Amino acid sequence: TEATKTAAAVKAPVLPDAQTVTEVKHWTDSLFSFRVSRPASLRFRSGEFVMIGLLGDNGKPLLRAYSIASPSWDEELEFYSIKVQNGPLTSKLQHINVGDQIILRPKPVGTLVHDALLPGKRLWFFATGTGFAPFASLLREPQTYEDYDEIVITHTCREVGELEYGRQLIENIKQDEMLAELMGEGFHEKIRYYPTTTREDSPKMGRITDLLKDGTVFKDLGIAPINPETDRGMVCGSLEFNKDIKVILEDFGLREGANSEPKEFVIEKAFVG
Ligand code: A2P
């Protein structure tokens, strides 16, 4: 009845910074993406992250850092997440449905932003696993195509199914008429997509770190090796991955930059657990 509905509404705990889920897609047993409403006041730079989460059993917000996977102009916010069966947040978050609410603190931060890089010709995105998320944002950001002649996106996952979110996103970008209008016809011809797997057969196997070190990537793509004059990089993966890529990029002569001091590459740890 109306009376009980009102009583329930009055008693329901008010979620601080609540946003409403508008879409949920499950990609594999351990990966899903979802979209939520965007707070009217939220401005962010493509590539940044925010704290999101749910109310924990103790009634306190349980929050984790999540890269915003949607571009800065999008009217909704998209996120890409792993599901950890005993993970404090993702064990619950994986069960959200359209219409549910999540908590979203509207304070975007992060280093994977165009401002943290010096001008260049070729931009590399290096991702493992859910580290693809900030690049899902930057691949839909007009500035990416205004600032660079070529964008190489590498994504290394254990299994083929884990590449699917990124693969479909790039496929959809190519067919999106609104993006073409925003960024200019043919903008997507600048994208070079280089997916690899390490534990399941696929056309390109191996860790991107090894494929960079032995020159396979450059041979496969028919491009010159990484060079500090022309190449810029953004890295998002596990701690170990980030450490290894950093050494490789430094060996090519690139230096790590930051918002306050733009250089040739920037690194951010992907959300884990
Ligand atoms: P591998 O299967 O050889 O460990 P994870 O799921 O462990 O985060 O890994 C995601 C992907 O990143 C996997 O394909 C994994 O390869 C790869 N990977 C993990 N650590 C590194 C690293 N230090 N350098 C390069 N690739 C890595």
List beta partners, residue 112: none
- The two structure tokens encoding residue 69: 């996977």
- CA 205 – ligand 1 centroid, Å: 12
Residues in contact with ligand 1 by the CB-under-6-Å rule are 128-129, 156-158, 198-199, 207, 209, 238, 240-241, 244
d(CA 205, CA 195): 9
For the chain, domain boundaries: 2-109, 114-269
pLDDT band at 262 (very low <50, low <70, confident <90, very high): very high
**Rounded distance between C-alpha atoms, residue 97 and residue 81, angstroms:** 14
Mean pLDDT over residues 233-242, rounded? 97
By mean pLDDT, which of 148-162, 176-190, 246-260 is the weakest? 176-190
Query: 177-197, pLDDT tens digit by residue?
Result: 888 888 888 889 999 999 999
What is the position in ligand 1's atom list of the atom closest to the CA of 197?
14
| pTM confidence score | 0.94
Look up the CATH number of domain 114-269: 3.40.50.80
pLDDT band at 15 (very low <50, low <70, confident <90, very high): confident
How far apart are the CA of 12 and the centre of ligand 1, in A?
43
- The fold of the 2-109 domain, in CATH, is Elongation Factor Tu (Ef-tu); domain 3 (2.40.30)
Which has the closest alpha carbon to 183: 148, 223, 224, 134?
Answer: 148
pLDDT of 107-129, one tens digit each? 999 999 999 999 999 999 999 99
Share of the chain residues as helix, strand and coil, in percent rounded to the nearest 5 = 30, 30, 35
* Rounded Cα distance, 195 and 234, in Å: 16
Q: Say how many Å lie between the CA of residue 158 and the centre of ligand 1.
A: 7
| ipTM of the prediction greater than 0.90, yes or no | yes
Predicted pLDDT of residue 8: 47
